[in-house]
Amino acid sequence: MRSSAGPRFLVRSSPSINAEELKPGVRCTLNQQSLAIVELLPTSFDAQVYGMELVDSPQESYADIGGLDPQINEIREAVELPLKRPDLFVRIGIDPPKGVLLHGPPGTGKTLLAKAVAHETNAHFMRVVGSELVQKYIGEGARLVRELFDLAKKKGPTIIFIDEIDAVGASRTEANTSGDREVQRTLMQLLAGMDGFENRGDVKIIGATNRIDILDKALLRPGRFDRIIEIPLPTEEGRLSILKVHCRSLTIDKDVDLAAVARMTDGKNGADLRAICMEAGMFAIRKERPTIMQEDFLAAIAKVGLDFHRGPVDVEGAMFA
């Protein structure tokens, strides 16, 4: 036994202690006189790690995602199916994917997709932003990663969602500063946790980034991220699907042509389309209309600078376009 002060002692254990529970790393209390183990303590985790666990499941579902049907099927096969139907993989004789990496431009729905997975599965969900794993003191970031995986394994089945993973997973280069070296130590602990000697248990990992080009090659190899899913900018059909999702709760005039709005927003992402719907509603409120009209959508497109077909359009002019 190693004490908190540093020295190590050979000690006895109380008859009330189950010998099978005496494993390396277990915390315990000792008799002050004989130093015999009298009680085992629960595993201690950093409060920051406990804060990464989502207690309430997100409300978003797959129905709230438009234009990403192929990507939804892929992530369901890689994350949801192994948790709900592990017998299918046993029957075929393959190991289920361990991790999924979502990459694509900002605003295309990567985080929304992870929220939907958390909603649709009964697994514990732990969310962490890559920058939270970068700490000031040496070894603190690696310790957080280690405790994150330990807690996830203890609570399994668990899904760990690492958003903006490029903050800690950038390619390793010749480190010039102590800060760079600390980030690399954290990355190496992350690599070991994702595919090390120890069995990770029923823990799935979802990573998200819009800079896949700077990620370390060791992070991208199969065995860590077995499936890499691109979340592209939506097509015209996808934009129409996204607009329908955002307009479900809006009071829209029956003459509104969402297909025309989808054609006018070429090259834009889901976040932009959501902003257009919100601005269209604001224009309707400003005019005190009972419903959102087509001209409100035109004004909204002009206001956020998305009308590429005709160039920038004056907001007031768009009201009568």
Cis peptide before 97 (omega within 30 of 0): no
- What's residue 305's pLDDT? 67
Residue 102, beta-bridge partner list: 208, 229
How far is Cα 312 from Cα 302, in angstroms, rounded to an integer?
7
pLDDT value at residue 306: 42
Tell me what pLDDT residue 228 has.
92
- Residue 1 near residue 11 (C-beta atoms within 8 A): yes
The list of the chain residues with pLDDT below 70 reads 4-5, 42-48, 50-51, 55-56, 136, 174-176, 178, 196-199, 305-321
Distances (CA, A) of 95 to 87, 149, 183: 11, 20, 31
What CATH class is the domain 236-318?
mainly alpha
Strands 227-230 and 37-40: unpaired
Residue given tokens 């004004």 in the structure block: 299
Question: Which residue ranges make up each domain of the chain?
Answer: 1-42, 48-230, 236-318
The position carrying tokens 């190991």 is 95
CA pseudo-torsion sign 106, 112, 117, 118: positive
- What is the residue type of 241? S
d(CA 263, CA 302): 14
315: burial class by Cβ within 10 Å (0-12, 13-18, 19+)?
Answer: middle
Other C-beta atoms lying within 10 Å of the C-beta of residue 267: 11
Kindly state the tokens that stand for 71. 């990507």
State the first-to-last Cα distance of the chain, in angstroms, to the nearest integer.
79
Note the pLDDT of residue 321.
38
What was the pLDDT predicted at 55? 66
**Which pair of tokens denotes residue 175?**
């480190």
**Architecture field, domain 48-230:** 3-Layer(aba) Sandwich (3.40)
Pair type for strands 37-40 and 99-103:
unpaired
Contact residues for 35 (Cβ-Cβ < 8 A; gap 6+):
1, 9, 11
The H or E element spanning position 163 is strand 158-163
Q: What is the pLDDT of residue 229?
A: 92
**CA torsion, ordered 112, 115, 121, 126, to nearest 10 deg:** 140
CA distance 272 to 278: 10
- What is the pTM for the complete model shown? 0.76
Kind of pairing between the strands at 28-30 and 37-40: antiparallel
Domain 1-42: state its class. mainly beta
pLDDT, residue 4, reads 65
What does the pLDDT read at residue 307?
Answer: 42
pLDDT per position as a tens digit, 12-33: 888 888 888 887 777 788 888 8
Query: Residue 126 is inside which H or E element, if any?
Result: strand 124-129
How buried is 230 (Cβ within 10 angstroms: 0-12 exposed, 13-18 middle, 19+ buried)?
A: middle
pLDDT digits (tens, 9 = 90+) for 104-141: 988 888 888 888 888 888 778 888 888 878 776 777 78
